[in-house]
Chains A and B, each alone.
Chain A
Amino acid sequence: MRVFRAGFLLAALAALLLLPRFVTSYKLLTYTTVLCLAIMAQGWNFIGGFAGYAAFGNVAFFGIGAYTTGLLMISKWHLSFFPALAAGALLSACVAALLGFPILRLKGHYFAIATLGVAEAFREVAGAWDKVTEGATGIDLPLRSDSNFYYYTALGFVVFGVALTAYLARSKLGYGWVAIREDQDAARMLGINTTLFKVAAYALSATFSSIAGGIIAYQNIHVAPNDFFKIEYTLQTIIACVIGGTGTVWGPLLGAAVYQLLSTYVWSHFIELHPTVLGAIIVFFVVFLPRGLMELLRRFGAVARGGRFGSDVFLANVRASRLD
C-alpha cells in the first residue's frame, strides 16, 4: 500500500513538472493560479485547520505581499523578484504577529470577524495612501512574460508547503495547535503557551498568502486595491481547504484542484450566477462533507483494506449536527 502511494505521488509530481510542455502559455497561467490558491489554502490550513481558528481575512496578506513585492521591484533599489517576495513575506508575518497578539486572544466568532475587518481596513489603506501605493490606480510591475517561471515558482512553493505541513503535523507545534483546537483551556493547563502558538500559525498563514500574492502580482503585472483585496479570495481559500479536508497534509492541495475544476465548469455554464453556485457548493460541503474529501478518500482506503465504507456516517454527520 505504501509503495503504491509513493509511486502515485511520484507520478503526480512528474506530471506536474512536465505539464508546461503540453499546455499553452495561456492555460499555464490558470494552472499557476490554482497552485497559488493551493499555497494560500496550505497557509490557511495552519490557523484554520490545525489550530481551529477560522481566519476570514487572509486576503489582507495576499494584498500586502502583492504590493510589497511590486513596490520593491519598481523602487529605486530595483530588487529582483525573490528578495522582494521574501521581504513581502517577512512583512506580512510581522503584521500578522502584531495583529495576532491582540486578536487571537479572542475565541471563534470574534476572531473571525476581526480578521474580516483587517482585510477591509488594508484595502482602504491601500486605496487612500496615494503617495506610496498610487491609490486606486495601482502600480505596474516589470514585465516578464515567461509563464513557465511563474508556474515552477508556484509549484516549488506548493511542494515546500506540503513538506512543511507534514513536518509540523508531527512536531510539538502541530500537537500544540491541535490541542488548542480541541480544548484551549486543557491546552493551557498542559503547559502550552496558546497565544504564542496561535500567533505562529497566523503568521505562517500570512507568509503563505503573501507569497501567493507576490507571484500573482508579478504574473498579473498590475496591482490595484480592488483587485487584490477581494474577499472572494479568502472565500476561495477557505472553500479549497474545507473541500479538501482541514487539518490534513494533502487536503488544501486536493481542495484547490477540485475547486478549480468546479469553478471552471460553473464559470463556463453559469457565468452570471457564478458566485451563487459557489455559495451553494459551500453549503453542500458544509452540510454533508464537513471533513472534506480527504475523509472520503480515507474511507475508500479503508474499504480497499477490507473495512467498511460507513456511508451511514455521512448521514450521521448531518443527523449529529442537525437539531430535531
Chain B
Amino acid sequence: MSATAPPLSVPLLQVRGITRRFGGLAAVDGVDLEIRKGEILGVIGPNGAGKTTFVNCVTGLDRLTSGQVIFHGEDITRKPSYAIGRMGIARTFQVVKPLKQLTVRDNVAIGAMFGAHGRERSASEARQRAEQVLTRVGLGNRIEDTASELTIPDLKRLELAKALAMDPELLLLDEVMAGLNSTEVESAMELIRKINADGVTILVIEHVMKAIMGISDRLAVLHFGRKIAEGKPAEIVESPQVIEAYLGERFAKRARSAGQLGRVTQDGVFRQALIPDEEPWKPTLPLPGDRLLEVKDLCSGYGEVQILRDVSLEVLQGEIVALIGANGAGKTTLLYTLSQLVKPRSGSIRFAGKDLTRASPEEVVGAGIVHVPQGRRLFPGLTVKENLLQGVYLRRDRAVIEDDLEWVFNLLPRLKERSGQLAGRLSGGEQQMCAVGRGLMSRPALMLIDELSLGLAPLVVDQLLDLISQINRKGTTVLLVEQDVQVALEHAHRGYVLETGRVVQASAAPELLRDPRIRQAYLGL
C-alpha cells in the first residue's frame, strides 16, 4: 500500500478503448483504464490475457489498432517508444534484456543518459547517477561486473535499475517477481514500495498473488484482452467473475480462510495458509518399486559458471518426485543435464541399469526419458497433431504410432478437438497440455516436467497437476520441477529441495509440507 495516496486523485495515464489485433485475434480488446498519480496499480489476469501486450502498446513498442493513450493530458498514442521513454514512462521487460557485454554500471548509465533527465547529463554524470541507482536496488557490490555474469534475481534488479535511472514518473513493471523465492519476493515488494514513496507512480503486472495483493492500491483484472474487474484488492478477491475465471475455487477458499482482509492490510503482506481441515492430497498408487533413476554427485553448469554441485538423488519406479527450490537453485539445469542438452562435468546418471552419463540427447530419449521443457516449447508452426507426431520421432512403425496417438487423445480429449490447429494459437493451458501430450507419445518410463505452472492461472494449474497424477497412476514415473511448492508437494510422493545447486533436504512430500523451514522459505508463512 502506498503511504500517501493523494486525496484528489489526478489521472496520470489514461487509456481509452485500446485495442490491439493480431490478424483476427484481439490481444487487447477495448480496455479503458486510468492510473492515478502516486498510486500502485496492479494488473492481473491469466496467461494470454494481454497484460504484456497492454504495456507494449502504452510504451510504443506495439502499435494500437485503435484507441488512445493519454499521458499528462497529452495524446501519446502514435509516439515512438524512445520519445515515450524520454517523457517519463519507463518499463521493465518480462524476459529481462540486459546489455550483456556491458558492465552493470554502463547498463544503468544508459538509462540515465537517455531518460527523462538525460539531456542535462553528461556521460560521466550519467555513470555517477547509475551508481546511485544501483546502490538503491541492492546491486552496489556488482557495479563493475559484466551483465552476462549475473544471476536471475540480480538481472531482475538490473532491469529495474535501468528503468529507474530514466527518472520516470510512471514505471511499468512486467512480472518482475517471476521466479523469485519468498524472501526475494518480500524484498522486491519493499523496494517497490520505497520507489513509490519517492514519488513514482507504478503499474505492476504479476502472477505472484501475495505480492500483488500486498502492494497494490487498486487492481485491474484482464481476461482474454478485456478488463473484467477493477477495484480494491479486497473487492477483487471476492468478485465471483474473477474467482471463476482466474483464481480458481481452491484459491478463493484459501483467501477467505486466511482471516479476511483485515489481516491483509496489517503489514501489507497477504498471507496464504493451508486450509486447516483439508489434508494434502495423497496420491493413491501401489508402493513404488525399484530404482529407476540414480543420480550421483552430478556437477554441471554453463560456460564458466557452475550450477550443480554434487547433486545426488533417486527416483523409484512409479513415483512422482517433486524438485523444489528458489530460482537459480539449479532445478531446470538439473533437468537439462539429465536430458543432456547440458553436458555433465562429473558424476553419474544411471537409468534402468544403463549408464547415461555420456549419452547424447537422442540416446536419452531412446532410453525412455522424455523432458517436457520449461515454457512449453511447442513447435508453433506445426499443428497439434504434428507436434504430437514429432514427439514420437524415433519410432518408425506406423501402426504403433497410430496407437500412441489414440492413447494420448483419449487422455487429453481437448487435444483431439484441436488436432488440426496450429500449436501457436492455443491458450497457455492447452499448450501445456499439448507439451505434456507430446512427451507422452513415446510412452516414456520417466517424464521430466519443468515448471508446469509457470504463467498459468491457478485453476489451470490444478487441472494439469491432476492430469499428471492420472498419468502417474497409469504407470509413468514423474520428476517434477515446480515453483508452486504447495501444489507440487500435494501431488508428489517425495520431494527434494535444491539450494544453490545442492540437495539440502529430501523426504516424503507430506513431511516437507509440514516442515516449518520449508513453509517459511517457500510458502511465505
Contacts and interface: CB of A to CB of B under 8 A. Distances in A.
Report whether chain A binds chain B. Answer: yes
A186 interface: yes
Contacts of A185: 61, 93, 97
Given A172-B123, A175-B109, A175-B123, A191 B114 contact: yes
A271 interface: no
Tell me what chain A mostly uses at the interface: helix, strand, loop, or mixed.
Answer: helix
Given A175-B123, A188-B61, A183 B97 contact: yes
Most buried by B among A185, A186, A320: A186
A182 B100 contact: yes
A190 B166 contact: yes
B276 interface: no
Interface stretch (B82-90, B216-224, B517-525): B82-90
A159 interface: no
Contacts of A179: 99, 102, 110
A105 to B, nearest CB: 12
B371 interface: no
Interface in A134-179: 170-172, 175-176, 178-179
A183 B82 contact: no
Contact of A189 (B90, B98, B102): B90
Contacts of B99: 178-179, 182-183, 186
Interface in A162-218: 170-172, 175-176, 178-179, 182-183, 185-194
Given A170-B123, A172-B114, A175-B110, A186 B97 contact: yes
B106 A191 contact: no
A175 B165 CA distance: 15
B85 A189 contact: yes
Interface in B105-119: 106, 109-111, 113-116, 118
Nearest to B343: A324
B59 interface: yes
Nearest to A247: B101
B303 interface: yes
- Residue of B100, B102, B126 with most chain A CB atoms under a 10 A cut-off: B102
Contacts of B118: 172, 191
Given A175-B109, A320-B303, A190 B101 contact: no
Nearest to B86: A191
Interface residues of B, number: 31
Nearest to A312: B304
Interface string B28-61: 0000000000000000000000000000000101
Contact of A190 (B110, B123, B303): B110
B226 interface: no
A106 interface: no
B100 A190 contact: no
A176 B82 CA distance: 12
A175 B97 contact: no
Contact of B101 (A175, A182, A187): A182
B81 interface: yes
Interface residues of A, number: 21
Nearest to B121: A172
A185 B95 CA distance: 12
Contact of B85 (A172, A188, A316): A188
A182 B102 contact: yes
Given A183-B97, A320-B303, A192 B114 contact: yes
B82 A194 contact: yes
A52 to B, nearest CB: 10
Nearest to A178: B102
B162 interface: yes
B81 A188 contact: yes
B361 to A, nearest CB: 10
Contacts of B166: 190-191
A44 to B, nearest CB: 19
Nearest to A313: B304
Contacts of B126: 172
Contact of B91 (A170, A189, A192): A189
Contacts of A176: 110, 113-114
A186 B100 CA distance: 11
A191 B112 CA distance: 9
A186 B93 contact: yes
Contacts of A190: 82, 85, 110-111, 114-115, 162, 166
* Among A171, A172, A183, residue most surrounded by chain B Cβ atoms (within 10 Å): A172
A192 B82 contact: yes
Contacts of B116: 191
A191 B61 contact: no
Contacts of B123: 170-172, 175
A170 B85 CA distance: 22
B113 A175 contact: yes
B167 to A, nearest CB: 10
A189 B86 CA distance: 9
A194 B85 CA distance: 13
Contacts of B80: 188, 193
Nearest to B60: A188
A63 B91 CA distance: 45
A320 B305 CA distance: 14
The listed residue with most A CB atoms (<10 A of its CB), out of B61, B99, B109, B118, is: B99
Closest 4 A/B residue pairs (Cβ): A191-B114, A191-B85, A182-B99, A186-B97
Given A171-B123, A189-B90, A316-B303, 8 more contacts: A178-B101, A183-B98, A183-B100, A188-B61, A189-B85, A191-B114, A192-B82, A192-B114
24 contacts: A172-B114, A175-B113, A175-B123, A176-B110, A176-B113, A178-B99, A182-B99, A182-B100, A182-B101, A183-B99, A183-B100, A185-B61, A186-B162, A189-B59, A190-B82, A190-B85, A190-B110, A190-B114, A190-B115, A191-B115, A191-B116, A191-B166, A192-B82, A320-B303
Interface of A: 170-172, 175-176, 178-179, 182-183, 185-194, 316, 320
